[in-house]
Amino acid sequence: MKIRRISMLALLALFSAASFAQAEEFAQAEEKEKTESSEDAKTKHPIYSQTMKSLTGKKIDFKQYEGKVLLLVNVASECGATPQYGPLQQLHEKYSKAGLVVLGFPCNQFGAQEPGTEKEIAQFCQKNYGVEFTMLGKVDVNGKNAAPLYKYLTGTESGLKEKDAGKVGWNFEKFLVGRDGKVIARFRTNTEPDSDEFVTAIEAELEKPAPKTGKK
């Protein structure tokens, strides 16, 4: 009977040791996963890691824009600046083959000037301005519900100087992102897309070579 008790105690000790080893293994694996996730978060680019829906519901993976010059504009259909769609489309036609990507982000936060459905916005843009550049689904660009992309664009982490950072003021603000993924310049509503200042800034970025990615 005594031998039996000793055997049982030995088995319990072995079981406890095994359980402890498994628990320790699990804890180490969990810690490793957290570290890797943290490292992934640090290496993910705030622009190129984004995925958003277009006006037509198509998934847009921003990774495809690496090495391109991006022009991001929050747009509206019933604004005094709405005719800027025209020169934005012209920029798309003239410079898209050189590496410019124009992206429109409908937003109803300013004077409720983008009240339509996504289908109505798409039809309006095509019918009135022949828009062919990529239009994303409706988003907020300010506040707690702002799209993560815009939270980045309006902050100093994006490359903007502190005096140029801060929330979007009105429709048709323009963010110019260089081939390196940094915000090069921010233009307010009253800067026309076909102005010399604006076009010169775009051309200067397009002349720069795309950064090397390290891929063979």
**Which active-site residues does the annotation give?**
79
**Spatial separation of the C-alpha atoms in residues 129 and 104, rounded to whole Å:** 13
d(CA 138, CA 207): 32
Q: Which residues contact 118 (CB under 8 A, 6 or more apart)?
A: 55, 56, 57, 106, 137, 138
First-to-last C-alpha distance (Å) of the chain: 72
The CA angle 96-69-83, to the nearest 5 degrees, is 60
